[in-house]
């Protein structure tokens, strides 16, 4: 199975050098994922893995899997609903919180590959 990682998290870029670098906030990561889903990729991880309190995290990493010849309707619906939900979120961009948010995002990403 072919997978890709999309992320706006510099810590993820260091740990996974092949990750797709997405500049911007989590909405930009979701928009890039949506574009790829329309090209035959599907969600491997849910856009809101973790808990809902982490919606304010300014870093987001997503894993997509390639599904040859398929446009995954469930992934399209999920990413569109996630984008809609993020429209009302004010991300926590305070400098003191950024290292913690980067760590949490990386840890959640890594846990998606275990078990």
Please state, in angstroms and rounded to a whole number, the distance separating the CA atoms of residues 35 and 77.
13
Share of the chain above pLDDT 70, in %: 97
pTM: 0.92
Torsion angles phi and psi, residue 32, rounded to 5: -65, -40
Q: What is the pLDDT of residues 3-38, one digit of tens each?
A: 999 999 999 999 999 999 999 999 999 999 999 999
Residue 84: give the domain boundaries: 3-111
Domain count, the chain: 1
β-strand 41-43 against 61-66: which pairing, if any?
antiparallel
Q: Residue holding tokens 């990729």?
A: 41
| Token pair in block for residue 39 | 């090209």
Q: Residue holding tokens 């990682």?
A: 5
* Per-residue model confidence (pLDDT) at position 57: 94
């Amino acid at each position: 199975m072919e997978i890709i990682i999309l992320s706006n998290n510099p810590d993820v870029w260091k740990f996974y050098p092949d990750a797709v670098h997405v500049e911007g906030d989590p909405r930009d990561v979701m928009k890039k994922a949506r574009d790829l889903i329309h090209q035959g990729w599907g969600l491997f991880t849910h856009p809101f893995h973790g808990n809902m309190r982490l919606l304010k995290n300014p870093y987001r990493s997503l894993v997509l899997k390639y599904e040859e010849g398929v446009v995954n309707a469930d992934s399209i619906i999920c990413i569109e609903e996630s984008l809609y939900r993020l429209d009302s979120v004010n991300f926590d961009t305070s400098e003191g919180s950024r290292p913690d948010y980067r760590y949490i995002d990386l840890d959640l990403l890594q846990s998606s590959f275990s078990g």
